Structure 1
Amino acid sequence: MNLLPGSIKDFSATEYWEQFFRRTGERPFEWYGGYLDLCALLHKYITPKDKVLVIGCGNSELSERLYDAGCQNLTNIDVSEVVIRQMNERNADRRPQMTYQLMDATQTSFPESHFQAVLDKGTLDAILTDAEEKTLETVTKLLTEVGRVLQCGGRYLCVSLAQDHVLKKLVTQFSQGGWIVRVHQVSTSRSVESESQFPLPVFVFVMTKMRVVPGFPQVLEMMAEEEGGKPLRFGNPDELMDAVKERQRYAIIRNHLNQSLTAQEVSIDFAGIISGRTRYTFHVVDSSAVRLSHVNHFAVFITPQGRETEWLFGTEAGRRQLAKSVGFRRLLIVALHRDEQYESMEAIQSELSGKVLELAPTGMPDNQKIPYLSVGGDLGARTVQYRGQSDLSGEYVVEDVRGDGTSYFRRLIFLSNQNVVQSEVRLLPSTTQSGQKKKKKDKKKQQQRQEDKGESQTSHVIDKSFLCCKHHKVMISGLALLRNPGVLPDKRISVLVVGLGGGSLSLFIHDYFLGSYVEAIEIDPSVLDVANRWFGFSQDDRMKVHLADGLLHINGLAGKGEAAYDVVMFDVDSKDTSLGMSCPPPAFVEKKLLQNVHKILKDDGVFILNLVCRDSVLKEKVMSVIHEVFPLIYAQKIEDEVNEILFCCHTSELKVNPTDIMQSAANLEKKLKRPGVPWDETYVLSDVFKSLQVV
């Protein structure tokens, strides 16, 4: 039997409900769940002594079950004459103290402050079908009438799906005038009582009428999903509404995941019960290629702290590879967030056990144990050394993390894009005696010196010989493309680097090419400050930083008409994450700017560009523009990353055989390895060019 109306507006029409109840007869129809779904919540706010008004009662058994549970002072109203007659006939003898009256909830005949509770299960949703002015006027009358008939301290319990226009009206109206607003999400049992099922979750809004007290703070709360959890408090109605919408989003995702395997990765954030901040991010990855058995339906992988930015854990392609390698049909990859404390793997498993079960795939046996996987068996290590605010890039952190094995790394991360490491260096154990006891004054001075030198409080120093970023290694190798007599470590070369970061790229050139003069351009003073204090960067007569806009600085240099640089490097990212190209910003690959790069570059010089572009159409356009200015372009893709390094030359006459380039790189490496100077033995310059291509 199809009981749904032809138009959503029919839900607010008396004629629809008369016909609805004639068709259903005396068989109860439960919108948004039955008594068993709601009783735990209702009995928290309705006592047996309370006078209760049930608006839009319909033929639900909810009032009857409440009556049988001891709440017998119930008055039920509805606009349908058919249903009022049916319910009176059904209850007159069995429940004599409960009444059913034909009445419009927007204009009742009850005295002011007559009830301790008003119960509304779906009636507001039925009336508030849209956000048109006439509809809102009707709803305002309804909610005003609810407030009128309630005593001070009385509760309006509204069971609702909280669609956007309903949520806005409900929270906005009751957050004014001193009402306490509290929201519960119903843990529905999907019982046979409930005949209308929705992908959206059901909420119970509990609005408590209070006397208006000047200066009394507004109380807006979302109750924790876990029994006994503390409510989350919000500073304004918008924050509360956002929290409701986030619960709705999760319910829709969960419903989708429970129906079938998903072709696209799904990511979900979860806030901590106490802090309200994001505590976990779940990445749900399904592998249809995995052959299903009775034991490999589902597993959970916990990413150690500090390693969530690695390719295997921090990219969709990496996570798909991880899911395939562990051999489960669905893998839930969990990232742990900074500023959150985690006791142990066991504690995390206990905390997440209920949530991960909700995301299990369809068809998984009920009694199957879910395996928890990780790397190394522990939580990893992350220490936030410094937190700052950039006027240009927003909030950032400097943090020390443990990588694979026993290695430690320091990272600069802008919180607007937490999965991208802005700068990274390796840390080595310090030989200083920083752990000795000193007087408080001396200790404070020592800590300041450590910050100035880039040392952490855990007695580590910067390893300037180690390039953490693969693309930095490739960019350094590009110096082997400089023409004969070849670039020797002590030969005079001028290098312009656009984008400082932590300074590791510029420092490596400075420290290993002893004849080099390096100029770096950085637009953000905060980045230079971080590089100086936390990444061991410093300036001298061969290293200079220009705090300037890279575009304006290059245009200014070109205006002087001097080809001054052997190498120009672009290692600057875009802060706009919506672009298909995240590095460099589009303005850095416009033709006019590239022509100015051409002007400041010597005839046998090399322009080295770090290109990160996921949009194939956009990339083709960018490459076309670069080719108009630089006829010869070598390209080196970086394995497991989106980065591609372009080596651009003035003329195609400078083209060199790839074998000769590899030999030149090998010769350069030999000369860079000087006695007594550390060298990363995993860095082989000639290997970089094994897959070099002319594009």
Structure 2
Amino acid sequence: MTLNPSTFETILPSRFITFTYPSPTLPQTLLRVAVLDSPLTQPSTESPQLAAMFVPTHRETDWIFSTQSGHLQLLLNFAQFSRLILIGYVPISPNLVNSFTRPECETGHAQLVNLEEKLTPLLFALAPKSCFVKGLPEVVFLRYEDDLIGSVVVEVCDGGLVGEMVVEDVELEGFEGREFRRRLRFKRMPNFVQTQVRIFPKGGRGFVGLEGVEFGLDFGVLVHSYLVPMVAGVSLIGGYLDERIQCGFRPKALCLGVGGGALLGFLSRNLGFEVIGVEADEVVLRVARQYFGLDDCDGLVRVCLGDAIEFLDEIDSKAKRLNIECLDNRNINGNDAKFDVVMVDLDSSDVNMGISAPPLEFVQKDVLLAAKRILCDQGILVINVIPPAASSFYETLIMKLKVVFEELYEVDVRNGENFVLIAAASTVGISSSGTKNVFASKLKQAISAEFIDSIKKL
């Protein structure tokens, strides 16, 4: 296909074009060039800004760099740029490769500078016409860096609702040497890890690479940055939960959004919760059971297939008598209509918003009221929040929660992306029991006290 140079003279929101181009440094080698214009509306007085990024060596087939959705996520991380150009070598196979190993020697600084200079004429040709108003445009070269050392694809499958997904075992740079994890990523948002759990090689650590290695799952730790703060929120009602446990009751949690099931499994295995999870995609549930140990919870975890908000509404409207069929052929009865904790880990399905959570549908007043009504008197609603870029979403959510709930607390996840909000159905009190709080002790053994101590009232 022949491209008309005038195609790139204007910014057209969300336009995505790819083509091949001869490498200026390696003879008989083609580069894949992908050009994406931001979906965000730029102020009319602002001159469009241009950025380019080289695809890391051997990562050319990763969905992060080979799909429009991955490209879009990269661009939305840099809202000041109107156009992002990705440049990488054309892979031998266009399909997702089964394994990746980071080269021992990355492209040197001098080589990158040389490649940047040789590609400057191409980048100028891809720059919007308005970039030349004050002379030659500035092209900002971005570097993609992460802690991935290697990866092996375990399975690629397609969910009816979430679309294509990949289960992969990865090796990461850790503070204490090699660290291994099993991850779940969706093609519609490949830069976002939906679920990850720590894994360990069953045959010991005397091996090279990931292929052909049998791994076991480590259920004793949460590795997702926002899950520990979510669990820390339970400390607000630790006294209440301890009194319930001392009276012979098992605390109950409802998890809206299952993913790989790491949160559900941790609540049941490490804190003794009876957990009900709701997931909209049947294939995601199958993956969670097959690869992330969701079924290995001593019968304390039940999962239901369905829309989380509809499920919440049904529990609310039929609290006294429910007959909702679960995937494991067990039923939820009227005694399950009240929960000590409701945890929300749902992300938006609108990729044009970037990574955001929870979906806009969940933050409506009627949904929040339904969530409050299914809580016990001392219950809490815990929400993982990723505010969309350049929006008042977070402030609006806080305002709505304060209207519906008695008290509101916040935990800063400290990753620059997530926040955890904890809404209490009633005033958080102190246990009247004079005995030692066994549940609080168990919680502090299970997670770092750092996030428990950082909870603040809003």
The verdict on how the C-alpha distance between 1:670 and 1:335 changes in structure 2, with shifts beyond 3 A counting, is farther
Percent identical among aligned pairs is 23
Report 1:187-336 matches (<5 A).
Answer: 224-226=22-24, 228-229=27-28, 266-268=51-53
Match of 1:355 in 2: 115
Please state how far the C-alpha of 1:629 moved relative to its aligned partner.
Answer: 1.1
The verdict on how the C-alpha distance between 1:520 and 1:456 changes in structure 2, with shifts beyond 3 A counting, is farther
Q: Deviations over 1:18-62 (max 9, x none)?
A: xxxxxxxxxxxxxxxxxxxxxxxxxxxxxxxxxxxxxxxxxxxxx
Match of 1:420 in 2: 192
Take 1:160 and 1:553, find their aligned partners in 2: how far apart are those partners? 50
The 8 Å contact of residues 342 and 375 in structure 2, kept in 1 or not, is answered as yes
Match of 2:5 in 1: 162
Take 1:527 and 1:521, find their aligned partners in 2: how far apart are those partners? 11
Match of 1:487 in 2: 242
The verdict on how the C-alpha distance between 1:639 and 1:666 changes in structure 2, with shifts beyond 3 A counting, is farther
* Equivalent position amino acid for 2:441 in 1: K
Match of 1:519 in 2: 276
- Return the match for 1:595 from 369, 375, 378: 369
Q: SS of the counterpart of 2:196?
A: strand
1:411 aligns with 2:183: yes
Q: Deviations over 1:523-561 (max 9, x none)?
A: 011111111111122165321000111111111000123
The 8 Å contact of residues 385 and 456 in structure 1, kept in 2 or not, is answered as no
Q: Deviations over 1:186-220 (max 9, x none)?
A: xxxxxxxxxxxx99xxxxxxxxxxxxxxxxxxxxx
Report 1:364-443 matches (<5 A).
Answer: 380-404=149-173, 405-430=177-202
- Return the match for 1:689 from 427, 452, 455: 452
Take 2:115 and 2:452, find their aligned partners in 1: how far apart are those partners? 47
Between structures 1 and 2, the one with greater helix share? 1
Please state how far the C-alpha of 1:626 moved relative to its aligned partner.
Answer: 1.7
Match of 2:332 in 1: none
- Return the match for 2:380 from 606, 628, 644: 606
The 8 Å contact of residues 271 and 442 in structure 2, kept in 1 or not, is answered as no
* Equivalent position amino acid for 1:266 in 2: A
Q: SS of the counterpart of 1:627?
A: helix
Please state how far the C-alpha of 1:380 moved relative to its aligned partner.
Answer: 1.7
Q: Which runs of no fewer than 5 residues in structure 2 stay unpaired?
A: 11-18, 38-46, 79-84, 121-142, 321-336
The verdict on how the C-alpha distance between 1:693 and 1:534 changes in structure 2, with shifts beyond 3 A counting, is same
Q: SS of the counterpart of 1:470?
A: coil
Q: Deviations over 1:354-386 (max 9, x none)?
A: 5334479xxxxxxxxxxx99899xx82111121
Match of 2:137 in 1: none
- Return the match for 2:224 from 454, 459, 469: 469
* Equivalent position amino acid for 1:162 in 2: P
Match of 2:103 in 1: 344
Take 2:289 and 2:396, find their aligned partners in 1: how far apart are those partners? 38
* Equivalent position amino acid for 1:388 in 2: C
Take 1:224 and 1:497, find their aligned partners in 2: how far apart are those partners? 51
- Return the match for 1:528 from 281, 285, 301: 285
Please state how far the C-alpha of 1:351 moved relative to its aligned partner.
Answer: 8.3
The 8 Å contact of residues 423 and 501 in structure 1, kept in 2 or not, is answered as yes
The verdict on how the C-alpha distance between 1:518 and 1:272 changes in structure 2, with shifts beyond 3 A counting, is closer
The verdict on how the C-alpha distance between 1:160 and 1:593 changes in structure 2, with shifts beyond 3 A counting, is closer
The verdict on how the C-alpha distance between 1:351 and 1:280 changes in structure 2, with shifts beyond 3 A counting, is farther
The 8 Å contact of residues 382 and 423 in structure 2, kept in 1 or not, is answered as yes
Match of 2:357 in 1: 583
The verdict on how the C-alpha distance between 1:374 and 1:560 changes in structure 2, with shifts beyond 3 A counting, is closer
Take 1:499 and 1:611, find their aligned partners in 2: how far apart are those partners? 13
Report 1:23-102 matches (<5 A).
Answer: none
Match of 2:409 in 1: 634
- Return the match for 2:442 from 671, 683, 691: 671
Take 1:373 and 1:597, find their aligned partners in 2: how far apart are those partners? 40
The 8 Å contact of residues 236 and 428 in structure 2, kept in 1 or not, is answered as no
Between structures 1 and 2, the one with greater strand share? 2
Q: SS of the counterpart of 1:553?
A: helix
* Equivalent position amino acid for 2:251 in 1: I
Q: Deviations over 1:308-345 (max 9, x none)?
A: 9xxxx99959xxxxxxxxxxxxxx99999973866834
Take 1:160 and 1:548, find their aligned partners in 2: how far apart are those partners? 46
The 8 Å contact of residues 57 and 106 in structure 2, kept in 1 or not, is answered as no
* Equivalent position amino acid for 1:356 in 2: E
Take 1:586 and 1:373, find their aligned partners in 2: how far apart are those partners? 30
Match of 2:339 in 1: 565
Match of 2:127 in 1: none
The 8 Å contact of residues 480 and 486 in structure 1, kept in 2 or not, is answered as no
Match of 1:499 in 2: 257
1:649 aligns with 2:424: yes
Please state how far the C-alpha of 1:617 moved relative to its aligned partner.
Answer: 1.8
Q: SS of the counterpart of 2:410?
A: strand
Count of aligned residue pairs for this structure pair: 374
Q: SS of the counterpart of 1:582?
A: coil
The verdict on how the C-alpha distance between 1:375 and 1:503 changes in structure 2, with shifts beyond 3 A counting, is closer
- Return the match for 1:553 from 311, 318, 321: 311
Please state how far the C-alpha of 1:409 moved relative to its aligned partner.
Answer: 1.0
Please state how far the C-alpha of 1:647 moved relative to its aligned partner.
Answer: 0.9
Take 2:363 and 2:202, find their aligned partners in 1: how far apart are those partners? 42
Take 2:346 and 2:400, find their aligned partners in 1: how far apart are those partners? 18
Match of 1:625 in 2: 400
The 8 Å contact of residues 240 and 378 in structure 2, kept in 1 or not, is answered as no
Output the TM-score relative to the length of structure 1. Answer: 0.46
Higher Rg of the two aligned structures:
1
Q: Deviations over 1:425-478 (max 9, x none)?
A: 11122159xx9xxxxxxxxxxxxxxxxxxx984122110111011211111112
